[in-house]
């Protein structure tokens, strides 16, 4: 990316124009197919069956363009989030380089006082992360993951709990849960397993955090136990995956005994369609006991507790 550009940011039109020199693709020759992991569920036109409808071609165009732009600038949705607010406070997401390959970051999350009313605060939880955008946008940290990590840290110990994180990416939220004493499974698709394993080792949590492949919409592997708590952050971003994520949540949550903490950043109008699907099996309430809520709400981030109907 041209560092001389104001704030290191390119517009969508400029990014499209960059496609030819950076990827060898001309805008008119974009591959409009879905990413490989979804092709089995949305086969090419002519291979359709009634059970596997093909998305509308304009939806596919939008999705393909979104993915190409994300490849060129993985942080394009977040660029404004690093600015100070009008009151001078810094927003949730720390600045990360626009081109991220095999880099390391350190994030700290502050605990609440062990006893209400006391001023002595336990040491913060520090997580060391390897971040790498080459396997996809899941290989870097995103705002809702940090919000959820901060919230569970303030809530305190998870000792004795079985915790499952969906769409873990770097594994950030699950690693925080591991530091809090939980037995954790961090899950995502195959391309992200290596980066999660590296991060488990970096944080010396191999005894309490397990890395597992879990593709939304597919049967839950027998190796993944029934969780007491499900954590999901920044999972609402790719519309064809919405029904798959809802199916996985439905399969995992049999009744109200499993708690689900769900954090997401609203980026597109299409996000509403996810909640239209979700409400068939779940109800939800906003988390109101987070002292940081007012700050991240200004960035269109919501933290919810889901309950099975």
Question: Is the domain of 24 the same as that of 105?
Answer: no
Query: For residue 236, how many other CB atoms are within 10 A of its CB?
Result: 27
Domain-terminating residue out of 25, 57, 72: 72
Question: Is the domain of 44 the same as that of 111?
Answer: no
Compute the chain's Rg from CA coordinates: 20
What's the structural domain count of the chain? 2
Region class of 160: left (phi > 0), else alpha (psi between -120 and 50), else beta: left
Question: Is the domain of 136 the same as that of 261?
Answer: yes
CATH number of 271's domain: 3.40.50.150
Question: Is the domain of 123 the same as that of 66?
Answer: no
pLDDT surpassing 60 at residue 9: no
| 284 marked ligand binding residue | no
| 167 marked ligand binding residue | yes
Domain-located, residue 93: no
| 142 marked ligand binding residue | yes
Question: Is the domain of 272 the same as that of 141?
Answer: yes
| 174 marked ligand binding residue | no
Domain-located, residue 86: no
Domain-terminating residue out of 72, 91, 123: 72
Of 175, 165, 67, nearest in space to 130 by CA: 175
pLDDT of amino acid 159: 96
Q: Which residue has the tokens 């009313």?
A: 117
pLDDT surpassing 90 at residue 26: no
Domain-located, residue 90: no
| 285 marked ligand binding residue | no
Question: Is the domain of 43 the same as that of 117?
Answer: no
Q: What is the pLDDT of residues 168-223, one digit of tens each?
A: 999 999 999 999 999 999 999 999 999 999 999 999 999 999 999 999 999 999 99
Domain-located, residue 88: no
Question: Is the domain of 137 the same as that of 213?
Answer: yes
Task: Give dist(CA 14, CA 17) in Å, integer.
Answer: 5
Question: Is the domain of 23 the same as that of 150?
Answer: no
Distance of alpha carbon 201 from its chain centroid, rounded? 21
Question: Is the domain of 173 the same as that of 228?
Answer: yes
Domain-terminating residue out of 72, 87, 117: 72
Domain-located, residue 109: yes
Q: What is the pLDDT of residues 257-297, one digit of tens each?
A: 899 999 999 877 778 899 999 999 999 999 999 999 999 99
| 169 marked ligand binding residue | yes
Q: What is the pLDDT of residues 65-114, one digit of tens each?
A: 655 565 555 444 444 443 343 444 333 333 344 456 778 899 999 998 76
Domain-located, residue 83: no
Domain-located, residue 139: yes
pLDDT of amino acid 282: 96
Domain-located, residue 104: yes
Confidence of residue 137 (pLDDT cuts 50, 70, 90): confident
pLDDT surpassing 60 at residue 244: yes
Question: Is the domain of 32 the same as that of 169?
Answer: no
pLDDT of amino acid 256: 85
What phi and psi, each to the nearest 5 degrees, are found at residue 229?
-140, 130
| 216 marked ligand binding residue | yes
Regarding predicted confidence, which is higher, 136 or 18? Answer: 136
Question: Is the domain of 130 the same as that of 37?
Answer: no
Question: Is the domain of 303 the same as that of 208?
Answer: yes
Residue 24 domain boundaries: 6-72
């Amino acid at each position: 990316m041209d560092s001389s550009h104001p704030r290191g940011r390119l517009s969508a039109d400029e990014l499209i124009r960059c496609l030819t020199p950076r990827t060898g693709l001309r805008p008119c020759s974009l591959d409009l197919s879905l990413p490989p992991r979804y092709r089995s569920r949305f086969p090419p036109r002519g291979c359709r069956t009634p059970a596997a409808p093909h998305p509308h071609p304009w939806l596919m165009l939008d999705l393909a363009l979104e993915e190409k732009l994300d490849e060129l600038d993985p942080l394009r949705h977040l660029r404004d989030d690093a600015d100070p607010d009008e009151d001078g406070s810094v927003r949730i997401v720390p600045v990360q380089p626009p081109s991220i390959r095999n880099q390391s970051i350190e994030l700290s999350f502050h605990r609440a006082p062990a006893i209400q009313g006391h001023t002595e605060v336990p040491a913060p939880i520090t997580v060391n992360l390897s971040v790498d955008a080459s396997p996809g946008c899941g290989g870097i940290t995103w705002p809702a993951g940090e919000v959820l990590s901060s919230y569970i840290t303030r809530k305190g110990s998870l000792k004795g709990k079985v915790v499952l994180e969906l769409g873990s990416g770097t594994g950030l939220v699950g690693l925080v849960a591991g530091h809090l004493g939980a037995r954790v499974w961090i899950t995502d698709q195959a391309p992200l397993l290596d980066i999660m394993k590296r991060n488990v080792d970096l944080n010396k949590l191999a005894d309490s955090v397990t890395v597992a492949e879990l593709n939304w919409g597919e049967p839950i592997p027998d190796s993944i136990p029934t969780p007491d708590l499900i954590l999901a952050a920044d999972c609402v971003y790719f519309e064809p995956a919405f029904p798959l994520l809802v199916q996985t949540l439905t399969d995992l949550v049999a009744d109200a005994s499993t708690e689900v903490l769900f954090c997401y950043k609203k980026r597109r109008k299409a996000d509403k369609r996810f909640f239209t699907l979700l409400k068939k099996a779940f109800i939800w309430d906003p988390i109101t006991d987070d002292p940081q809520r007012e700050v991240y709400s200004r960035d269109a981030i919501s933290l919810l507790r889901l309950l099975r109907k």
